[in-house]
């Protein structure tokens, strides 16, 4: 749980799994309530834990994309189940 247990990591990983080769700006649009600082920190944590990879393209302007690793993809079914559980039980929580 320490790997994906923060407020945002599972959400960020979910978006990267849904849309492989996603750019930072696209992630920011998909998760509008997250600050740039927190998004950068959480991406760094996901990179450190080898759940995603960062691909930097040598071009002007610079372009960076994030893709899930095999380790990150192994969490996809778990995240799907958590999402389903949340939708099913969400109306019971206050």
pLDDT of residue 84: 87
Contacts of 26 (CB under 8 A, 6+ apart): 19
pLDDT of residue 92: 64
pLDDT of residue 26: 96
What is the CATH architecture assignment of 9-92?
Orthogonal Bundle (1.10)
Query: Domain-by-domain residue ranges, the chain?
Result: 9-92
Q: How far is CA 81 from the centre of its chain?
A: 16
Beta carbons of 20 and 68 less than 8 angstroms apart: yes
pLDDT of residue 20: 80
Beta carbons of 54 and 12 less than 8 angstroms apart: no
Residue count (the chain): 94
* Torsion angle of the four alpha carbons 54, 32, 40, 5, in this order, in degrees rounded to the nearest 10: -90
DSSP H/E element including 87: helix 76-89
Per-residue pLDDT of the chain (94 residues; tens, 9 = 90+): 778 888 999 999 999 999 989 999 999 999 999 999 999 999 999 999 999 999 999 999 889 999 999 999 999 999 999 888 888 887 666 5
pLDDT of residue 91: 63
| 94 vs 61: CA distance, rounded Å | 46
pLDDT of residue 50: 96
């Amino acid at each position: 749980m320490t790997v994906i247990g923060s407020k945002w990591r599972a959400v960020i990983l979910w978006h990267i799994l849904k849309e492989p080769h996603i750019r930072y700006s696209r992630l920011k649009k998909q998760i509008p309530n997250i600050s740039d600082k927190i998004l950068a920190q959480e991406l760094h944590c996901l990179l450190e834990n080898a759940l995603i990879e960062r691909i930097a393209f040598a071009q002007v302007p610079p372009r960076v994309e994030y893709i899930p690793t095999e380790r990150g993809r192994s969490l996809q079914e778990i995240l799907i189940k958590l999402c389903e559980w949340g939708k099913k039980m969400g109306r019971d929580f206050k």
